């Protein structure tokens, strides 16, 4: 599994597993630990299931605190992000293709947190967790011995990723594995069909499109000077309208959100020890070094140098480029083979009700 952010449309930022030679999957599975995934949206449905650890998940205007055993279905085109994830947590992220749905436009309310949540012990919740666990087990191969994370193995994380990709190429190759995968997918879709939400999005002009267009613009132009006047023009609303929309959607000001994006990019760049702090500051759009330090300490509760020291060797980023151009590069994700779990974790949890390693 590879940490990769494919941008398929404006505003689409996601951690995906590359599988270009395989036929289109009804349900694709990612296993690992998302610590941070920038605000994004896409056409497919996404089921996010927390097995270990915790994180915050924002979907549109709501923030959900996800813990062990929780899951939530994100409907297509709903903006969402993950933040404040714990190191060495574990999640299953299932992406459900719109083409696999009989009624692609329908919305679903299927979650164990927030308004309309079902109890974690509900038999439907247990069934869903078991189906997701079975799919994750089938699509997470046993890794060869040379990929074990023991210190005596003289192998970089990049080498391990390359080996992992070769292993993933052989998934679902047999007829038995393929039909077993399909059977599990259709069982999952059958269970989800019972969670059709009668509420529909308001017809007519979608104001969310204005917001998504603005978010995309910030993600693409974070290195430049960004003023409210510019954002108002992008969103085609008044300047007070910009403030209201950000407050309603994210509970922050536009300036604060811009700072968050710039700081996330700075964190990614600071993982390269050869980069000077001053260079990182100016490359991320800050006009002065003092402003960068002040903003960084406000959001990260530590100085840039302290952050670099604390995170040294924690995550070996797979990027060879020293100049990051997109917020997708700030996503922080631990692949499954980097985590202290065995593949059997997906089958042995009695529906996923577990809380620790």
**44 vs 141: which has the higher pLDDT:** 44
Question: For residues 171 and 131, which has the higher predicted lDDT (pLDDT)?
Answer: 131
Percent of the chain with pLDDT over 70: 76
Extract the tokens encoding 315: 């995550």
- The predicted-structure confidence for 167-181, as pLDDT tens digits, reads as follows 667 778 889 999 999
- At residue 200, the pLDDT reads 57
Give pTM, 2 decimals: 0.80
What topology does CATH give the domain 4-200? Jelly Rolls (2.60.120)
Per-residue model confidence as pLDDT tens digits over 204-222: 456 688 899 999 999 999 9
> Beta strands of 111-195 (E only): which ranges?
none
Residue-wise burial string across 100-126, b where 16 or more C-beta atoms lie within 10 A, e elsewhere: bbeeeebbbbbbbbeeebbebeeeebb
The reported pLDDT for the residue numbered 194 is 93
Q: What is the CATH topology of the domain spanning 207-334? A: Arc Repressor Mutant, subunit A (1.10.10)
With bands split at pLDDT 50, 70 and 90, how would you rate the model's confidence at 105?
A: confident
Band of residue 271 on the pLDDT scale cut at 50, 70, 90 = confident
Q: What is the mean pLDDT of residues 86-111?
A: 93
Residue 311: C-alpha distances to residues 29, 38, 272 (Å): 28, 19, 10
pLDDT digits (tens, 9 = 90+) for 32-76: 999 999 898 888 999 999 999 999 999 998 999 999 999 999 999
158: pLDDT strictly greater than 70:
no
Phi-psi region of 151 (alpha: psi -120 to 50; beta: other; left: phi over 0): alpha
Say how far apart CA 145 and CA 143 lie, in whole Å.
7
Higher pLDDT, residue 161 or 310: 310
Phi-psi region of 352 (alpha: psi -120 to 50; beta: other; left: phi over 0): left
Domain ranges of the chain: 4-200, 207-334
Q: Quote the pLDDT of residue 323.
A: 39
Instruction: Tell me what pLDDT residue 180 has.
Output: 93
Among the listed residues 160, 155, 142, the one whose alpha carbon sits nearest the alpha carbon of residue 338: 160
User: Looking at residue 337, what is its pLDDT?
Assistant: 81
Tell me if domain 4-200 and domain 207-334 are identical in fold: no
């Amino acid at each position: 599994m590879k940490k990769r952010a494919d941008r398929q449309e404006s505003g689409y930022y996601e951690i995906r597993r590359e599988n270009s030679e395989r036929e289109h999957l009804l349900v694709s599975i990612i296993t690992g630990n998302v610590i941070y995934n920038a605000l994004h949206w896409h056409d497919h449905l996404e089921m996010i299931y927390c097995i270990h650890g915790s994180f915050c998940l924002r979907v549109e205007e709501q923030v959900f605190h996800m813990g062990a055993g929780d899951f939530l279905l994100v409907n297509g085109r709903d903006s969402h992000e993950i933040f404040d994830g714990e190191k060495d947590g574990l999640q299953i992220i299932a992406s459900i293709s719109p083409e696999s749905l009989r009624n692609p436009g329908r919305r679903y309310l299927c979650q164990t947190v927030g308004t309309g949540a079902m109890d974690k012990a509900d038999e439907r919740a247990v069934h869903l967790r078991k189906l997701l666990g079975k799919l994750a087990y089938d699509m997470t191969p046993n890794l060869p011995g040379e990929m074990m994370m023991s210190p005596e193995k003289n192998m970089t994380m990049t080498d391990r990723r390359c080996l992992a990709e070769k292993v993933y190429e052989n998934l679902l190759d047999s007829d038995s594995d393929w039909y077993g995968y399909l059977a599990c997918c259709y069982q999952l879709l059958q269970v989800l069909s019972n969670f059709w939400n009668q509420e529909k999005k308001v017809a007519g002009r979608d104001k969310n499109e204005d917001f998504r267009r603005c978010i995309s613009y910030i993600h693409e132009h974070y290195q430049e000077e960004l003023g409210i006047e510019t954002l108002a023009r992008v969103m085609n609303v008044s300047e007070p309208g910009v403030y209201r929309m950000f407050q309603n959607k994210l509970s922050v000001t536009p300036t604060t959100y811009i700072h968050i994006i710039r700081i996330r990019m700075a964190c990614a760049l600071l993982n390269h020890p050869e980069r000077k702090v001053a260079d990182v500051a100016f490359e991320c759009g800050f006009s002065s070094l003092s402003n960068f330090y002040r903003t960084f300490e406000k959001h990260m509760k530590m100085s840039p140098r302290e952050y670099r020291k604390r995170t040294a060797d924690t995550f070996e980023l797979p990027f060879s480029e020293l100049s990051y151009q997109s917020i997708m590069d700030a996503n922080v994700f631990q692949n499954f083979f980097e985590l202290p779990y065995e593949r059997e974790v997906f089958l042995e949890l009695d529906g996923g009700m577990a809380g620790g390693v």
